[in-house]
Structure 1
């Protein structure tokens, strides 16, 4: 299971963790900048199907002369690697991550974990078979002001209701404007994942209504309203649009947490504010902590070196992906959808589609999918 999943060389030490990165596109370059800035890692190779793009990215982002290749198998320096960073497009996540895990490397992957929950469950099983860590970089969990909000919420007792408003008007072009549910699939996983983090419980069901405003430049539904029920009775409401010009929210959204002992508010960018039931203000305890990609990278290195279970570990993170899949299923079906039915359907598909016999055997060994995934 998640506990004890470590990589090679887990003893604490000063030597930087040797990494190979797969993916040299826009997000790949963002990761390269962070790897170059971190004294805790050393990049030993870069892989991309477009070797020329990999060469340019390496040279321009601070890694001149770095070995590059079109596949991990072709990268001779990969023998030096202690871990792999997967920054490929989502459709390639399952293939790249599974091969790395079964090859003995712990993996830090860009979100989403996979294109589907069934692929995600296969990756959970592969992580167990390999005994290696798979962590998803939910980089929006790593904000100093969000960490301050967490500390305020912890002082307010049981959470009853959390809401997030998300309104932006980006014009990406490309594949996002052709997706059936661009907001829910490509963006909302950040907010749904943060809801799990803040509530401290797991989702049970969702009712979601999605639509596309008449002026939308997206082909699919660019707006949605969803209400999730959690195991402890808390509710999370998400309302958002990707074609909402004017008075836009933060990319993190605008948050309200209503709890037994008071309320906390966060605009997604600045310091949060909180008030206890007696009217007293709870100060925002903002600390000097690494943010976004740098934050997830630092936690990954710490866990690979010293053990433990990080935020974004695959057994728990697959439920953030299940929230997205449940929301899109609900929107299409026009009914309440349970996380249990999403997991059960995905598990059956994962078993049926699995090509690796060891991974398939591990899937079949689970007492139930519900006992394996989720918060620990």
Structure 2
């Protein structure tokens, strides 16, 4: 295990916030994690854990950082349709390991995201409406808690329930086993429109109406992005306000289902096609380079696309002078099914995610008014999409879930070695 005080492990995908711990541990196995946690506990130092740095809640000063990047073993059991992943594994590794067997994980849109941290926050994946949250498919987890001991958490236990949905501050999960699904190919891609030729609010209204007609097995999202006019961007994106609908579906009638959307207006780009699951990351084409960003989310009971949706796009569009990424995920389907974990807001119909660049206070001044427009229909927020907004604990859990999480926290981390858990204190 590497124990250091320099900053070589501190560069994460989200570069908005500095990590300045007193010490950095880079474990190579579970014994190293135990040693790191005991080191921190003996010195009464706080512990932060990071694999890839995609969803940093904010800056970290002092304490111990456990960087799990070196724990990257992936083991597929094709007969059981499961995969075991260590704490530093990224989803791209799992997709590649499962593909030869005609299997797929319930990964998200970006292959560089850490599989374990994503799953602990619930895990809203490419095929989420068909199969549910990634957390719903976890068989077991190994976790080192604040007392420096390893626990094997299985379904039915309080620790298992709490880790999956609220596990970011309960310990260091060193490995988990999760189910794979028999998916070799899918129908997916995006339909993009020029937001200066087609009214963005009209596309959003058409999208919301369309979601009421599709089967539970079809997963989709709406996005609106005002791209700057920069040479580094592809020519068809420079200076454009691009409005798009992204689709992922394992059925054989995808073209027929998407046909109504093609009538919305002139199509700027159409990438919808049958594809190997290994190419599913091209549906969203998320950035693959570290950069500065801040964002938050709102889980909605409904989306009033005619009024609130139009105002949302007005407040985040190109006239703001900033690049604000709007994404609206269609929820429901298998995501609404109850499960033995702490993933909240399963009755939500949409998830709105807003993300922008720049310093946190300026970003909040831009995004907060947009979230206020959505407030009447907002159930809560999503832990995995609090990009820099993790200091705002309100709304991440319903009162009952929050109380139960606090009870588990008081059992396994009464001194808050791992912090206050996004507003869940011991």
Normalising by structure 1, we get a TM-score of 0.29
Return the structure number with greater helix share: 1
Greater RCO between the two (CA within 8 Å, min separation 6)? 1
TM-score (norm 2): 0.26
